[in-house]
Amino acid sequence: MNNYKTININEWTQVGEGGTAQAYTDKSGTRLAKLYNVSFEAERAKEEFFTARTVFELGIPTPEPYCLITDGVRTGAEYELLKNKRSFTRIIADDPKRLKEITLTFAEMAKALHATKADTSRLHSYKQRVMQFYEEKKMVPEDYKQKAMRFLETVPDSPFCLHGDLHIGNIITDGKRNLWIDVGEFAYGAPEWDLCLMWNITHNMDAKRTEDLFHLTKEAMLEHWNIFLPAYLGTTDPERISEATQRILCFSATKVPYIYNMVYSKSLPDESFQRLIRMFGDKY
């Protein structure tokens, strides 16, 4: 690991924990360390750092990534630490009456991101990344793979920005700047790749994990989704919302096995596929 800076984790203070990594701050309060779980592939962590550098250099509002790091066991990266920052979810947790206001701001930021032309020479196609998973890794039943691949054939490879891990906890603010964080999965493609992750978090995550990760109740996260989607789509028409939701469910069913394998390096339990396959409906 010649290109990794070794840090003494005892000199850092843990300030957060997500599904794949833990966050720490240094004594000066100017740097944030993100260290991935041991099960997370080191090469994937490295790739995420260079993706974050690309996003920063493209002018997307995000903290600056400084360097690759290791504590001797885990790998990750150091980032600029925003002074007096709070996540959007922490703001809502501290003042629940602001849920609608913050959600509407988040919806506008998501729309703006998805309307930003990506540099396709430096970023990955999300569709191709997911297709590669289905083609190369035998992590799903064959009938499920065929249904997912039929759906993927209908998905446009749109040349617009995707966050890759889009949720309201991945915006921080100091009151002056609103910044995207955790941009290591940044890519380009259809916006539903981002929206389907939000749907999963707000509908399928259990209550304890929702509170641990987002400081919000499951009910608050559902309310957040119900405000977000019409604002994002620019309509309250039930038929259009239903059509959008059904398409989002297909993206979700396709993406979940890929994400689960990325995080845990194994296949989903067999019983999960029975539920997920219903999300495709009869079309595929």
pLDDT tens-digit readout, 131-180: 999 999 989 999 999 999 999 999 999 999 999 999 999 999 999 999 99
Q: How far is CA 202 from CA 29, 120, 207, 214, in A?
A: 32, 30, 10, 11
Q: What percent of the chain has pLDDT over 70?
A: 99
Architecture of domain 86-278: Alpha-Beta Complex (3.90)
Q: What confidence tens digit (pLDDT) does each residue in 24-39 have?
A: 999 888 899 999 988 7
Question: What is the Cα–Cα distance from 169 to 89, expressed in whole angstroms?
Answer: 5
Q: CATH homologous superfamily of domain 5-80?
A: Phosphorylase Kinase; domain 1 (3.30.200.20)
In this model, does residue 264 exceed pLDDT 90?
no
Domain spans of the chain, in order of start: 5-80, 86-278
The arithmetic mean of pLDDT across residues 193-200, rounded, is 97
Arithmetic mean of pLDDT over the chain: 93
Q: Which residue is listed with tokens 């999960």?
A: 272
Question: How far is 185 from 40, CA to CA, in rounded Å?
Answer: 13
| 42 pLDDT more than 80 | no
Predicted local distance difference test score (pLDDT) of residue 186: 95
Count other C-beta atoms under 10 Å from residue 198's C-beta. 23
Provide the pLDDT for residue 53.
Answer: 92
Residue-level pLDDT at 1: 52
pLDDT at site 202: 96
Question: Is a pLDDT exceeding 90 seen at residue 48?
Answer: no
- Asked if residue 19 has pLDDT above 80, the reply is no
Q: How confident is the model at residue 2 (pLDDT cuts 50, 70, 90)?
A: low
